[in-house]
Structure 1
């Protein structure tokens, strides 16, 4: 039986119910807004249904974790000067909010036309976006935060899972630590891979929890990558972009892949 929006709404409310927690269903947007102590998290029900159909109950368990840790992050104390090792970069869509719902401006830097880099303070189980207020308190500059964050991201493990389709190779980073897409910023890691590739190096960050790196050797590889990217983009809790990037001389160039054709830049 195909699960409906209302059925999933009821499932989510049952899984997420708790003290001081309320729910607001927005049928026109197919969203469920979860509120706890004046903090809100909005869930996109169609995306959750898609993941539920693919993963079953484990998808709901991931949602429960995502919501609980999201609320916990709101109470996280940010100590940039005392714990610089907890500063990391996260990649978000260019349309991602520039400030919190409380009006505090997030720290961010430019990345591509499709994406931007934000910075977070990590506490193992949750992270909180770093704001201008936070860096002023620590007497840091944005350049300091960027340098520290890039240093820390390069220390994370980069174990890849490989898949082979036709003549093309696809590598997947899925450590599920919240920084899979962020490893796109690990320049030495990308350069090392580039030297090993035989075809064109194309990367994709459809959502926060996956990085796809492809060694494209013929036109069919672009079609496969386009399909993968759209599928991951549709099911991600934190979507980033459905456009892949060609990697040239250390730079990323967004491309639009036409079915059965080479990409159009």
Structure 2
């Protein structure tokens, strides 16, 4: 049976790079994003495009249905940042959108894919988190909140899913040169801040998909080896 992957946030950046890597391995790829450029990436790799709003659980169900019973790999990568630093002046529409994409869409993806993975006897899931999931990030507290939630979900579910032969892991990159950070590219360069390229993070995601481990939190940073993050034990 041919492997099939569902990859969210695949119109560019990390998601598109993951799709190219998996397609090169012979994996059939179902790509999900709201941006119309998704169709070009899907055509390039011979994949299938599912365009729509990931905050709607029906889109994740549609992607899982297209993948069918060959679905074995899931990359929940879609992300959105926030421009609000002060909850007192929060833009509520933007807030709902950020939480919807970064947090709820991860749950919708799991909800749609897990029944298929259980029926086939296993699979592998990677969630793209962030260094913001592991430390204070005052530059974007709403984004940090959603990524902390994602790590909490991975920690809570990975053990029980491993008993069903389903790996659930997180990759936590530092700053990445993607459309999400494009507006700050020159500021990062001027400040001498090192930024990851999307393909480096995609390589880490694919390795993690294939690792055979569960509950991994892999930190990926510029100019440093990838490193497993282990939470400190409670005192």
Answer whether TM exceeds 0.5 for this pair.
Answer: no
Higher strand proportion (structure 1 or 2): 1
Q: Which has the larger radius of gyration?
A: 1
TM-score w.r.t. length of structure 1:
0.27
Structure scoring higher RCO (CA < 8 A, sep ≥ 6) equals: 2
Higher helix proportion (structure 1 or 2): 2
TM-score w.r.t. length of structure 2:
0.29
